[in-house]
Amino acid sequence: MRRVLPVAGLVLALLWLVVPLAPVLVWAGAERWSYPDLLPGAWGVTGWRDAAAAGLPFALLRSLALGLAVAAVATPLGVMTGRVLGWRLTGRPRLVVAALLVPLVLPPFAVAMGLDVVLIRVGLPELVSVVLLLSVVAIPYTAYTSATAFARTSPELEAQARALGATPRQARLRVVLPAVRGSILVAALLAFLVGWSDYVVTLLVGGGQLVTAPVLLGAAASGSGNDAAVAAMALATLVPPVALVTVAALRVRSSGRTAADRLPESVPPEERMR
């Protein structure tokens, strides 16, 4: 019984994620699907053609660019913060944590609504504003992910590299960073997803300059009658992040294993005792 419950829980959780997607999957290949048929009456690629005609390929490219830009800003900043938190380099970790929580507690919609007037006044280009604002939303994720990684890695590692003659820069970039590489990848992925999937900030702060996949999807899904095209857009928006997460999960697992294998050599036995 004790074993069955977690498994059942896992299966339920997976079903909860996957079942709502089933109609989307079917619709994306449907030509016509009317009541009371359980399955579409005709299959085809009309949905994909309509979605492409509505500008889906470019919207996906724009989403990709936005995700990469957000990851490029939020990952380094998050890793720096994560190092400070994970290695307890600050006397006031609670203050840092509280500051990091703010963007998570405030809904992005409220942030966008409040900040858009300010950002317009400041006169920053819209695209810069979007990347900055989304990076603020992404930094808590990148910071926490890397903080756990640093907490698992001994600060002694850096000291040892220094003792062996590495410059501070070399010690950080060539010894510490590779040791937390897997987590940095996950952090970058989370930041990428923030940029990839955002609707409100991209539209309101971006001033419509950046029609990303979610913006296109949101507009198309607000009408009905084009379910096949909407399903195609939803699927195209969903698959790349899922594929990325899967690849990252596999890589982190294998690199985690090798890191664990390597660890006994790099840390002397008496260190491990502590």
C-beta closer to other proteins: residue 92 or 224: 224
C-beta closer to other proteins: residue 61 or 101: 61
Shortest reach from residue 131's CB to other proteins, in Å: 16
C-beta closer to other proteins: residue 100 or 203: 203
Shortest reach from residue 103's CB to other proteins, in Å: 20
Sorted by sequence, the CB contacts under 8 Å of residue 56 that are 6+ apart come out as 213, 216, 232, 233, 236
C-beta closer to other proteins: residue 32 or 272: 32
In terms of C-beta distances under 8 Å and separation of at least 24 residues, what long-range contacts does 26-34 make, across chains too? 26/231, 27/227, 27/228, 27/230, 27/231, 28/228, 28/231, 28/232, 28/234, 28/235, 30/227, 30/228, 30/231, 31/228, 33/227
Shortest reach from residue 20's CB to other proteins, in Å: 17
Tell me how far apart the alpha carbons of residues 27 and 9 are, in angstroms, rounded to a whole number.
Answer: 29
Asked whether the bond before 57 is cis by omega within 30 degrees of 0, the reply is: no
Shortest reach from residue 171's CB to other proteins, in Å: 47
What residue ranges bind other proteins (CB under 8 A)? 34-36, 50, 53-54, 113, 116-118, 120-121, 126, 203-204, 207-209, 211, 215-216, 218-226, 229
Tell me how far apart the alpha carbons of residues 184 and 77 are, in angstroms, rounded to a whole number.
Answer: 11
Tell me 82's DSSP state. Answer: H
Contact 111, 133 (CB under 8 A): yes
Shortest reach from residue 240's CB to other proteins, in Å: 21
Tell me 262's DSSP state. Answer: H
Shortest reach from residue 7's CB to other proteins, in Å: 36
C-beta closer to other proteins: residue 171 or 229: 229
Contact 237, 217 (CB under 8 A): yes
C-beta closer to other proteins: residue 11 or 113: 113
